[in-house]
Amino acid sequence: MEGEIILTEHLSKRFGKIIAIRNLDIRVMKGITGLIGPNGSGKTTTINILIGLIKPSSGKAYVFSLDSWKESDKIRRRIGVLHEDQFLPGSFTILRYLQHIARLKRLREVRSEIKWVLSEFQLRDYMERRIASLSAGLRQRVALAQSVLGRPELVILDEPTSNLDPIARMSLLESIRRLNKEESINFLISSHILPELEKVCKDVIIMYNGTAVEQGPYNKLKEKYFQGVYKIISSNNMLLTKELRELGIVEKVDALDDSLLVKVKSGYYNEFINSLYEIIKSKNLKLLLFEPLHPNLEDIFKEAIKGGNYG
């Protein structure tokens, strides 16, 4: 399919008795994709299969239409990875480490490329420091820098923000957005920090128990998981509340500061909008605000993994 960079088909992985991945079918398109799921849901195992580190028990995984196990050399030349427990050699300086990675990746413009990542991740002032002497956050920035070195087509980040302070996190998110826009680098990012992830992701995959329970464009999921809650402000909220409560299709009306939060029964959203406009007209009210409250990524996540006996 046009724009597809990752595809898995009935992918499964067992470790002895443990089934880490079961019948996983995911498709990752160009852009920035978030991979989320509770601890142990199989995100890291999926990533390790995609980059050819572990062999699937059954099923297939493709990156750039290449077989993740049989053609992993070809894949690895075109991607960058930040591992969950990324190894960094403590006795190397940042500069020497990046030079080493550049050599492994057989990059051509080594000097300019290293200069670029050092500045991208604000590491210039530290480049002569030994990695062992760095704080956890700085080490994480070094790990990020190596993953985008050479501007690969796809960068896979497993928990990239866990050690970062709030400012470094914001700056990482900005970098990801910019690298995607200006350098056309695609990202697959696994993270538990959903409010952050939702700011950068175009697409989302939700894993639970080794399988994908939901996936697609974040905007579409927001509509799909819409719970029928509207925020409304009118010229007479008291009167409007009374009228709305008389409609059989409104479950609840809550007053919140100067606005109303109205929960409409599922399946009656269009009917509700028509009734609301009729009330407004017949009672001579002014409608000052009318806005559907879409769920955020956390709401969608909780809803998608419901029924799976989680938490």
Q: How far apart are CA 281 and CA 287, in angstroms?
A: 10
In the complex, the smallest distance separating the C-beta of residue 159 from Mg ion, rounded to whole angstroms, is 7
Distance from chain centroid for Cα 211: 16
Query: Who's near 96: CB < 8 A, 6+ residues apart?
Result: none
The b/e string for 182-203 (b: 16+ C-beta within 10 A; e otherwise) is: eeebbbbbbbeebebbbebbeb
Fill in the per-residue mask, 19 to 38: x = in contact with ligand ATP (CB under 6 A), - = not in contact.
Answer: -x----------------x-
Q: Which positions from 105 through 124 interact with Mg ion, judged by CB under 5 A?
A: none
Could you tell me the two tokens for 273?
Answer: 């909008």
In angstroms, the CA 178 to CA 187 distance is 12
Answer whether 25's CB lies under 8 Å from 8's CB.
Answer: yes
The residue from 27, 43, 139, 222 that contacts ligand ATP (CB under 6 A) is: 43
For residue 233, count CB atoms less than 10 angstroms from its CB and return exposed for 0-12, middle for 13-18, buried for 19 or more: middle
**Which one of Mg ion, ligand ATP, none interacts with residue 42, CB within 5 to 8 A by kind?**
ligand ATP
Least separation in angstroms between CB 44 and Mg ion = 3
Applying the rule CB under 6 A, the residues between 70 and 99 that interact with ligand ATP are 84
Rule CB under 6 A: say whether 191 interacts with ligand ATP: no
Looking at residues 77 to 106 of the shown chain, list those that interact with Mg ion (rule: CB under 5 A): 84
Nearer to Mg ion, 82 or 247 (CB): 82
Instruction: Annotate each residue in 39-58 with x if it binds Mg ion (CB under 5 A) or - if it does not, as one string.
Output: ----xx--------------
Distance separating alpha carbons of residues 140 and 162, to the nearest angstrom: 9
Size of the site for Mg ion (CB under 5 A): 3
Which residues, in sequence order, are CB contacts of 148 under 8 Å at separation 6+?
80, 117, 120, 155, 179, 185
22, 210 in Cβ contact below 8 A?
A: yes
* Binding of residue 160 to ligand ATP (CB under 6 A): no
Residue number, 21 or 98, with CB nearest to ligand ATP: 21
In the complex, least distance from residue 160 CB atom to ligand ATP, rounded to whole angstroms: 13
CB of residue 118 vs ligand ATP: minimum separation in angstroms?
Answer: 29
Q: Which does 18 bind (CB under 5 to 8 A by kind): Mg ion, ligand ATP, none?
A: ligand ATP
**Interface with ligand ATP includes 284 (CB under 6 A)?**
no
Binding flag, residue 255, ligand ATP (CB under 6 A): no
**Which of 128, 124, 126, 102 has the alpha carbon at shortest distance from 113?**
102
Give yes or no for residue 15 binding ligand ATP (CB under 6 A).
yes
Is the CB of 117 or the CB of 144 nearer to Mg ion?
Answer: 144
Residue 39 touches ligand ATP, criterion: CB under 6 A: yes
Token pair recorded at residue 81: 């990875």
Q: How far is the CB of 40 from Mg ion (least distance, A)?
A: 8
Q: Name the residue nearer to ligand ATP (CB basis): 15 or 277.
A: 15
Q: What are phi and psi of 160, to 5 degrees?
A: -75, -15
Report the distance separating Cα 75 and Cα 78, nearest Å. Answer: 5
